[in-house]
Amino acid sequence: MKHEIAIVTDSAASLPQELVEKYNVTVVPIQIQFEGEAYRDGIDITREEFYRKLDGPVMPSTSQPAPSDFINAYGKLLERFKTIISIHITSEGSGTCQVANIAKARFPGADIEVFDSESASMGIGFLVAEAAEAVLSGKAKEDILRLLTELRPRIKSYAVIDSIRHLLKSGRVRAGQALIASVLSIKPLISIRQGVVEVVDRVRTRRAALDRLVELAVEAVGENPKSRLAVVHGNVLEEANRLRDRLIPLVGCKEIIVTDIGPALAIHGGPGIIGVICLPG
């Protein structure tokens, strides 16, 4: 007998392994390209190895998963489930949704829905968690897709970049802007809005940047017990834990998740990137 609905995402979602297991989510790995070699995130390369390469003279890049990875995942799940809801990184910055749709076409007649999160990191992860909880509570596919569509524009993502170097190399900021920011030691505060990365504030010190993250998180989630909050980081776990500890007495959400931000955003922000991702209740 087949189960009703399976949830699929990609490794750009930054979902901690305990949540992957708790919700029985299938994670398709994004690819990391480095000096002509392709590595599957979390399979062929660990996060520690990724950050070592990211700090080196040649910067790696990311690309969408291979079509075969989606085809394999969908094929196995369709043996056990009637429906697949596949939730992925914003199509504004990645071809992952497109590849997922290509893989979907290999299963004519199968009930596969590809959903563009218009987000990254735990912005995707929170939608995955909400969808998985809706599945567990017996919601129908149409109700889950309606819920995801309602929640998607409410996600707020903010991050502080420690160095402008990776943002410049990634092509996400003009050279002139990068030079000015570097000379002035400005810490750009970025946001992802409707799938687009933009600079929303600039501060002079990392301490001031972290203070601003706290303000933005408190403003976003308040004391609503239905809110979700994540502190995401690029290989600065201790600092992320300290930020979480600052937030705990200030917000009323049911949990604060601390997780690695993942290659999809670390490529642009570099090691040391730290942020908050909020889903207000």
Residues linked to residue 202 through DSSP beta bridges, in sequence order: 188
- What's the Cα-to-Cα distance from 108 to each of 75, 100, 104, 151, 262, rounded to whole Å? 12, 14, 7, 29, 33
User: Cβ(36)–Cβ(281) under 8 Å?
Assistant: no
Q: Are 157 and 121 in contact (CB under 8 A)?
A: yes
What CATH number should be reported for the domain holding residue 159? 3.30.1180.10
Tell me: pLDDT of 259 over 60.
Answer: yes
Does 165 share its domain with 266? Answer: yes
Q: In this structure, are 139 and 161 located in the same domain?
A: no
pTM score = 0.90
For residues 69 and 72, give the distance between their C-alpha atoms in angstroms, rounded to a whole number: 5
Do residues 159 and 251 both lie within one domain? yes
Give yes or no: residues 102 and 15 share one domain.
yes
pLDDT of residue 61: 84
- Comparing CA positions, the residue from 102, 115, 8, 47 lying closest to residue 265 is 47
Of 114, 134, 152, which residue is a domain's last?
152
Residue 8 confidence (pLDDT): 98
Residue span of the structural domain in which 253 resides: 155-279
What integer is the mean pLDDT of 144-160?
95
CB of 29 within 8 A of CB of 43?
Answer: yes
What's the distance, CA 161 to chain centroid?
Answer: 16
Q: Could you say which of 119, 152, 185 is where a domain stops? A: 152
The amino acid that residue 113 corresponds to is E
pLDDT at 183: 38
CB atoms within 10 A of CB 249: 7
Cα separation, 130 vs 9, whole angstroms: 13
Residues 186 and 243 in one domain: yes
How long, in residues, is the chain? 281
Neighbours of 108 (CB within 10 A): 6
- Is residue 40, in this structure, part of any structural domain at all? no
Whole-number Å distance between alpha carbons of 257 and 276:
10
What's the CATH number where 79 sits? 3.40.50.10170
pLDDT digits (tens, 9 = 90+) for 221-241: 988 888 999 999 999 999 999
Residue that is last in its domain, among 130, 152, 174? 152
Residue 57 belongs to some domain of the structure: no
Q: Is residue 242 part of a domain?
A: yes
Least confident of 9-18, 21-30, 34-43: 34-43
Per DSSP, helices labelled H in the chain are 17-23, 47-54, 67-78, 96-104, 122-136, 141-151, 165-169, 175-184, 206-221, 237-247, 263-269
Would you state the pLDDT for residue 166? Answer: 53
Backbone angles phi, psi at 17, to 5 degrees: -60, -35
Residue 183 lies in a domain: yes
pLDDT for residue 38 is more than 80? yes
Total tally of structural domains belonging to the chain: 2
Residues 118 and 210 in one domain: no
96, 137: one domain: yes
pLDDT digits (tens, 9 = 90+) for 40-57: 998 898 888 888 888 888
